[in-house]
Structure 1
Amino acid sequence: MTVRRLVLLRHAKAEPGRDEVPDEMRPLATNGRKQAGGVGKTFSAAGLAPELALVSTALRTRQTWDLLAKHLDGPQGEVRLEPELYEASVADVLELVRSVADGVRTVLVVGHEPTMAATAAHLAGPGSDDAALAQVRVGVPTATYSVLESEDAWADWGRSRARLLTVTRP
């Protein structure tokens, strides 16, 4: 049976909002750039290099992906910039996940709070790690990612259909 793995990553720390800069164009802060590189190193060590990355079009999410990807071992998978991830609901994220080809085994979504944590909490079912579930129920800090697994085809992912294995903070 094929195990499919979904990694939900909140973007790294961004610069504070300013009136003259649209929210979608806020760049990563210096600390956020370090966080993103650290996430990339952690992904490599844990074997979490995605075959498909779905990335919000916001500047801070694109920068998070770019800095993370520099630290991944091996060939890079497909990257899709997804405008709907910027102000996505859990249903929006699930719609994207359910459209993934069955041959893809690891998908990364780089998005925003509260949606990344809420999506992990929605998907977490029997066999999930209690501490990880408690964390996603209250939200996650910047550069934090959740790892979920399921034997279900991507089209069948939904409420309580995956195991939340871990939540990793920077």
Structure 2
Amino acid sequence: MKQPKHAHDAPVPGRRLVLLRHAKAEPGKGSVPDAERSLAPNGRKQASRVGMALTAAGLVPDRTLVSTALRTRQTWELARRHLGGSQDLPFELCPQLYAASVSDVLDLVRTVDPAVRTLLVIGHEPTMAATAAHLADKASDDAALAQVRVGVPTATFSVLSAVDVPWRKWGKKSATLVRVGRPS
């Protein structure tokens, strides 16, 4: 497997976890189940911009885990069109991400192939922000940590990095929260 690279083409040290809250969805309507809510027109634009932002930041994932909710699947489909030109990025639909707890997310992360260096997880609030806050160690960016502690808006991604921690050992305070991003 090719070593992932930063935007400036230097090899990426360790592992990076990108936790993404899906883009803006249509409001819930009486007969439409929550899991079947689709992206709003603005959400479709957000999702595309997320893909561009991840590519610009050198965060093209080696693997992606996606909630089975329609809005998360649509976020992935639109974002991946802008992830470095590759349409064949490996992903997995994970039903357990729909109503996941922090523990559920970590259980999935811990099963990821050790060869994966950048993992993208697309899910829901409050779990995406809570997972970032749970994983964040004392070296984390203060502003990013403050943001995930209160929750993140739609189409926001949190980036965590750990140099010498294999996926199977990711847990409380095991990674550095390096940034929270949201494309304009």
Letter of the structure 2 residue corresponding to residue 166 of structure 1:
R
| Cα pair 1:10 1:142 within 8 Å, conserved | yes
Aligned position for 2:91 = 79
Aligned length: 170
Separation (CA, whole Å) in 2 of partners of 1:144 and 1:74: 21
Is 1:30 the counterpart of 2:37? The answer is no
C-alpha RMSD of the superposition: 1.1
Distance in 1 (CA, whole Å) between partners of 2:111 and 2:169 is 10
Provide the residue aligned with 1:102 in structure 2. 114
Does 1:48 find its partner at 2:59?
yes
Matches within 5 A, 1:1-170: 2-75=13-86, 76-151=88-163, 152-170=165-183
Q: Deviations over 1:30-74 (max 9, x none)?
A: 000000000011111111110100000000000000000000115
Q: Percent of aligned positions with the same letter in both sequences? A: 65
Amino acid at match of 2:15: R
**4+ residue runs over 6 A deviation:** none
Question: Which one-letter code corresponds to 2:47 in the other structure?
Answer: A
Gaps of 5+ in 1: none
Query: Helix, strand or coil for the counterpart of 1:7?
Result: strand
* Cα-to-partner distance string for 1:94-119 (whole Å, 9 max, x where unaligned): 00000001110000000000000000
1:104-162 CA-partner distances (Å, limit 9, x unpaired): 00000000000000000000002100000000000000000000000200000000000
Q: Which residue in 1 is equivalent to 2:5?
A: none
User: Following the alignment from structure 1 to structure 2, what is the Cα–Cα distance between the partners of residues 113 and 104?
Assistant: 25
Shift of 1:78: 1.1
Alpha-carbon shift at residue 169 of structure 1 (Å): 1.9
Post-superposition Cα deviations, 1:67-100, rounded to whole Å, max 9, x if no partner, equal 0000011544310000000000000000000000
Q: Counterparts of 1:36 and 1:122 in 2: how far apart (Å)?
A: 25
Letter of the structure 2 residue corresponding to residue 20 of structure 1: S
**Is the 1:124–1:148 contact (alpha carbons within 8 Å) kept by the matching residues of 2?**
yes
Q: Residue 4 of structure 1: CA displacement?
A: 0.2
Distance 1:40 1:16 in 2: 23
8 Å CA contact retained: 1:126, 1:162:
no
Q: Distance in 1 between matches of 2:166 and 2:83?
A: 26
